[in-house]
Structure 1
Amino acid sequence: MPGVLVLHGFTSHPERTMGPLPERLRAAGFTVAQPALRGHGTRPEDLAGVRWEDWLEDARAAYATLPEPRAVVGLSMGGLLAAWIAAEGEARALVALAPALGFANPLAPLAPYLAPLIPRFPGPDSIRDPERKRRNPNYPYFPTRAFVELLELARATPARLAEVWCAALVVEAGHDRVVPARAVRRYHALLGSTHKEHVRFPESGHDLLLDLEDERVAAFVTDWLVRVLAPTPPSPPERVD
């Protein structure tokens, strides 16, 4: 029974942000690990003092509990952490959903300088559908210094992408106001994998699994993993004349 590590994004709710995907994976026969990365799932203030290396440590610990063959799926920040896991482990597959290799907000690179003046920022506009946006389970704001850690992770990740050799799927959201398309496509381009795919869901916001195409995204990712992780059929016996 293959194992899949599912990693949420920055400020995301550890369970609800991944929408229907974890249950679809379980229904398809996967063992799923869905850890709460440090500082998440409680209150925004708990992100204070957390380092990006802490998030990676949490991801590694959850990955180690899974049976082989193993895959890793990550949304946004989780897509960056997923690349590290895939680069250093025995992962057979990587799925990155709107990986946060860059940011649409022009103030994002200035966060290290703004942190002393602006201690917190509002949560991003990550869901397109108005009704679903009202039910957004993610943190409504976050400490600016915590975002600085995400920036550091984003800057450290490109070097690891070249070390990813497993099958890879990179998913772009057509109406992403958080991570620009160029950042998602750069992530895909930098992957060392020879078997890598890039797909775009045109009606989705950044939180693809909470938005208009959530079921389509979950079904696509699950089906892709089923194909990639399917056991290799045995070779037919050699013919003896």
Structure 2
Amino acid sequence: MAEATGWVPAGIDLERPSAARLYDYLLGGGHNFAHDRELAHRFLRAQPNAREIARHNRAFLRRSVLFMAERGVRQFLDLGSGIPTVGNVHEIAQDADPTARVVYVDYEEVAYAHSKLMLADNPGATIVQADLTAPERVLDDPATRALLDFSEPVGLIMAGVFHFVAPEKDPAGIVARYSEPLVPGSYLAFSQFTRDLMPAEMDRVVEVMSTSRDPMHPRSKAEITALFRGYELVEPGVVPTALWRPDTGLDDGDDPDRAGIYSGVGRKL
């Protein structure tokens, strides 16, 4: 039976869990369904540190957006943006500069519908419903072209999403295609799951997610670093999320070896 909510898009398959709604649940959000929560509970059994991993990834997103904003970036393309929760890119960027512009991209129905509602009165932000593995579709979308000026630096964000891109989709080619129209001085902020940290837990997570609409493909530090081709990595390079320019150092109990995710930011050459 469908859950009684007023924000469910027509025609959505409530029986098939999604990564966007799983992430929403791990962050304490309310835009998820029973099957998403069941998947999340299996995810948590496979990776008991999952909530902390999600929190640190969200914190990396905030710090990386502020880092780019402090260096003059005033427009952002957030790929696989997910379901809006506290601390979205447009809130961070527009708090730093009200003229900042943000284009979100997600193919998941709830993420798209809820973002449309939230951004209805914000002329500086919009969402494109598309699969990030189709760069031409995203870059050529009228909404993208209307809001982003590719003659100026852009902050390209792939935070906690690229582990859903299968090897056969040509990950390096996807990053290169999004990077192609970006002028020097643009930035790439990137994070994704790795087997380098907590390998046994990662293997269990891959098995759990194989039953969802979003199977996972963890990558090594070397593989992630290679995706920054054409960019100069800023210090401290590709590191566990908690170690990427932390605000006040690690919180008690936050072990970088249990981060599960690598992150990094590069400046386009």
TM range (shorter): 0.3 to 0.5
TM-score normalised according to structure 2 size: 0.38
Q: TM-score with structure 1 length normalisation?
A: 0.41
Could you say which structure has the greater relative contact order, defined with CA pairs below 8 angstroms and 6 or more residues apart?
A: 1
